[in-house]
């Protein structure tokens, strides 16, 4: 029987992979991918917990909303990466340190 816990474990795994990708990848696209993964882990959680809201299906609705939002943010993120690439000729975040003191 697949319980809520299984969903949560899978979700954590996905989140951690996403987090790892965000923190460690040397490529902005891969970071974006990581973010997507983390959003998806959240979506998975929303869906899993949506079981407890059988009246409004708030979980599913919110998951759909998040997927749409993620798609939009990926578009914006890719645009930013593109313009960053145009400016710096790289998309390795380690090389873009304008925020240094």
Partner 1 sequence: MKELLTISPISMSILVVLLPFVAFVIQAILGKKSISGIISLVAILTSTLISGGFVFSAVWNSPPASATYHWFTIGDKTFTIGILLNNLTVLMQFIVCIIALPVHIYSRSYMKGDSGIHRYWMYLSLFCFAMLGLSVSKNLFMLYIFWELVGFASYLLIGFWFTREAAVQANKKAFLVNRIGDLGFLIGIAILFSSFGTLDLVDLFGKDGIFLQGIDKNTGWMTAAGIAFFLGAMAKSAQFPLHVWLPDAMEGPTSVSSLIHAATMVAAGVFLLASVFPLFNETVLLIIAIIGTITAISSAFFALGQYDIKKILAFSTISQLGYMMVGVGIGAWDAAMFHLATHAFFKCLLFLSAGAVIHEMAHLKAHGNQAFDAQDLRNMGGLRHYMPKTFILMAVASLALAGFPLTSGYLSKDAIVITAWEWALHHGGLYLVVPILLVVVSILTAFYISRLIFKAFFGEFRVKDLDPTRLHEAPSSMLIPMLFLGICALFFVFSWNPLSYADAGILKGLAVVYPFPEVHAIHIVVPILLVCGSLIACWVGWRWYAKGRYPLNADNRWVQASLNQGYINQFYQKTFIESTLKLTQLSYWFDLHIVDGLVNLSAKVVRSLSAISSWIDRHIVDGLVNTVAGTIYYIGHLLRWIQNGRLQNYLGFAFTVVLIGIIYLIIR
Interface residues with partner 1 (CB under 8 A) are: 19, 22-24, 31, 93-94, 96-101
**Least Cβ distance, residue 12 to partner 1 (angstroms):** 13
State in angstroms the smallest separation of the CB of 21 from partner 1. 10
Q: Which is nearer to partner 1, 38 or 63 (CB)?
A: 38
Nearer to partner 1, 20 or 65 (CB): 20
* Nearest partner of 31 among 86, 87, 93, judged by Cα: 93
Q: Which residue lies nearer to partner 1 by CB, 58 or 93? A: 93
| Contact by Cβ (8 Å): 8, 48 | yes
CA distances 13 to 18, 42, 50, 84, Å, are 9, 11, 19, 30
């Amino acid at each position: 029987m697949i319980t809520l816990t299984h969903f949560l474990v899978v979700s954590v795994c996905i989140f951690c992979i996403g987090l790892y990708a965000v923190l460690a990848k040397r490529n902005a696209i891969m970071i974006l991918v990581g973010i997507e993964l983390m959003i998806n882990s959240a979506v998975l959680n929303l869906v899993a917990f949506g079981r407890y809201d059988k009246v409004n299906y708030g979980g599913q609705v919110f998951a759909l909303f998040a997927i749409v939002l993620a798609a939009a943010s990926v578009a914006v993120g890719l645009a930013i990466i593109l313009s960053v690439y145009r400016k710096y000729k790289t998309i390795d975040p380690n090389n873009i340190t304008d925020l240094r003191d």
